[in-house]
Structure formats: C-alpha cells, structure tokens
Amino acid sequence: MDDRAWWQLVKDGKDEGWKLVWERVVEPESRSMRSADMMERYSLTAGDLMGMLFDEMIGKRKIDLYRGEGSFEGWLRRYVRGYVLNANPNKHGEVSIERAHPDADGEGEAMSLPTHDKETLRIEAWRMTLYFFRQLWNEDPERCYIHLLKTRFFLTSEEIRDFLDVSSAGNVDQIFSRSVKFMRESWRKWDGVKK
Amino acid sequence: MKTPEGKKIAFVFVSHPTKDVSLRWQATVAFPPGATAETPLSITVIDSEGRRIDSAVLVFAGKEMPVVDGAAQMTFGEFVAGKHSVPIWLHRRGMRPVPGVPTFG
C-alpha cells in the first residue's frame, strides 16, 4: 500500500488504515528508547497516543495538513514524538498538536529544567484521570466502556459495535471522540481551577 | 452482540476510596472470547487483601446479583442490556453498602 492509499484510509477512519498507524507508528514509537522513558514518567500509554492521534486527525481534521511531502509514517511519527515531548503532566490535557509538533515554535520548552516534583505531579495526574473517568462514567457508562475498549484493549470500531450492540461503527467513533473531548476538557477546567 | 475472538477483555471496578480498609473491594468482569448473549460472564469479587468475598450482593449493570464464594453470575446479554446503568454497589451483611467505580485495570 502506498502512502496516499494509507493516508486515505486513515482519513476515512477505516480500521485497516488505523491498524497500520498502530503497528507502524504508535506501538514502535512507544517502545523506542527516545519515548518509552518519558511515557512512563508522564503516565502515558500507547493507547493514549492512539486516542490523541485519532481525535486530532479525525476529530479535528488535522489529517488534511499532510501534503504528501515525505513519508506518511514519518509525518505521523513526528506528531507522536512531539506529543510525548510535551506531555508534561503539569499541562496534561491541554497539549495542542500544533504546539507539540517538532517544527513548532517553542519546541525547546520541553527540554527546560523541571520546576516541580514530577512524582507528585504524576500521582496527581493519575488521581485526577481516575476522577474524570468516574465523571465520564456518571455521564454514561457506555462511553467508559468504549474508551477502555479502544485505548486499553485496542478493539476496532466494528468489534466494539458488535460487543456493545451499538448501531454503527461510526457511532462508536463519535462516542469515543466525545469521551476523549470530555477528558481533555476536564483537564482544562482542572488546570483553570488550580490557577 | 458478540465479543471478539482471541481477545481477553476484563473490566475492573473498585470501591470508592474509603479509610476503612475492611470496606474496600474489587470486582473483575471478564468476557470470554466469542461470547454471545447467553454466555455467562466470569465475575469475581475480592476484598482488600485479595481474598474472595464469601457472601454479598453486587449491584452492577442494572442487576442485583448474589456473590457466593467470590463469584457472581450474569450473562453477556444482561451486561449489554444494562450498559447505561450507572450504580455499582456491594452490599455485605453487617457493613454499610459501598459504591464502586471503574478503573483502567
């Protein structure tokens, strides 16, 4: 499959394309020496990266920014690496993919010396994530199930459709996108409260 | 409704944070690969020390289930029918009921 065909599958939200994103981009990057250590420190999982990519590429149509210059795999990898670089728990949930991109201005900020106790921030990030997840549950448990099935068990939208008896795979994608948005906005609100 | 073949899926629920350790519990709902509506799910309920809870009542997915020797029974169809149901509780004799929450476990 050439890059153009792969890009089109990803753009259309097809499982075949996203499976390749997982196999060739997210999974290898999450195991790389460059990213694995930071991901562990920031409590990021490969599932989080996959969720982020899906939300940005499909939810926000960032996929249209790819112009065919260079390999599609490399283009996606740079986004993932940038996201990991900027995944400081102190600003968890408000990372913009444009700012995370290695070409963006201010890339060096991620390399500055830490001013907070990372372990404390990590524990707080974990506790607050659980808290927001519980709020998501209170909104509708089905959203939590879909969130877990996508990000922890890596089921395709079709598998989740069959699993939870959802009307269509597209509906699964919509619910997942909403749950990711909910978690992100919860973080944004929490950061606002802290300030 | 059907669970995927060849994939092990389990959801874990824990009690709300409580200072009294004896009130804590954990329930694991495991879905067999290829399960259909009539397939029974494996639900195990343990206490804070990992021991199976002898006797209790678990409220989950809109159903009240007796827990006997750490196990409760529910079919996959019942789970899907109650997929929008929020309350999760564990009732134990002589203890106050304790609500539960989903985790990433």
Burial A141-172 (b: 16+ CB within 10 A, else e): bbbbbbbbbbbebbbbbebbbbbbebeebeeb
Q: For the residues A73-96, what does the mean pLDDT come to?
A: 71
Task: pLDDT tens for chain B, 105 residues: list them.
Answer: 899 998 889 999 999 877 888 999 999 999 999 999 999 999 999 998 999 999 999 999 999 999 999 999 999 999 999 999 999 999 999 999 999 988 865
- Is B83 in contact with A155 (Cβ distance < 8 A)? no
Reported as a pLDDT band with limits 50, 70 and 90, residue A112 is: very low
d(CA A107, CA A82): 8
Task: Note the pLDDT tens digit of each residue in A45-72.
Answer: 888 888 888 888 887 888 888 888 788 9
Cα B25 to Cα A104, B45, B82: the distances in Å are 47, 7, 21
Structural domain boundaries of chain B? 9-102
The mean of the pLDDT values for chain A is 79
User: For A89, which DSSP code?
Assistant: G
Task: Note the pLDDT tens digit of each residue in A116-133.
Answer: 555 666 677 777 888 888
Reported as a pLDDT band with limits 50, 70 and 90, residue A102 is: very low
Q: For the residues A100-125, what does the mean pLDDT come to?
A: 52
Closest CA to A188 of A49, A83, A93, A121: A93
Structural domain boundaries of chain A? 3-111, 118-194
Q: Quick check: A162 contacting B, CB < 8 Å? A: yes
Cα B51 to Cα A76, A99, B24, B25, B55: the distances in Å are 46, 48, 11, 10, 12
Q: Quick check: B87 contacting A, CB < 8 Å? A: no
Can you give the pLDDT at residue A88? 59
Reported as a pLDDT band with limits 50, 70 and 90, residue A109 is: very low
- B2, A163 Cβ separation under 8 angstroms: yes
For residue B55, count CB atoms less than 10 angstroms from its CB and return exposed for 0-12, middle for 13-18, buried for 19 or more: exposed
Chain A, 5-34: which have a CB under 8 Å from a chain B CB? none
d(CA A136, CA A142): 9
Q: For the residues A3-24, what does the mean pLDDT come to?
A: 89
Q: pLDDT above 70 covers what percent of chain A?
A: 80
Tell me the HSE value of A167 on the side-chain side, using a 13 A CA sphere.
4
Give the torsion through C-alpha atoms of B47, B51, B56, B62, to 10 deg: 60
Reported as a pLDDT band with limits 50, 70 and 90, residue A89 is: low
- A53, A17 Cβ separation under 8 angstroms: no
Q: pLDDT above 70 covers what percent of chain B?
A: 98
Can you give the pLDDT at residue A133? 86
Helices (H), A101-140: 118-139
CB atoms within 10 A of CB B20: 11
pTM (2 decimals)? 0.61
- Is A159 in contact with B104 (Cβ distance < 8 A)? no
Residues of B in contact with A148 (CB under 8 A): 11, 102, 104
Q: Is A123 helix (H, G, I), strand (E, B) or coil?
A: helix
ipTM over 0.90: yes
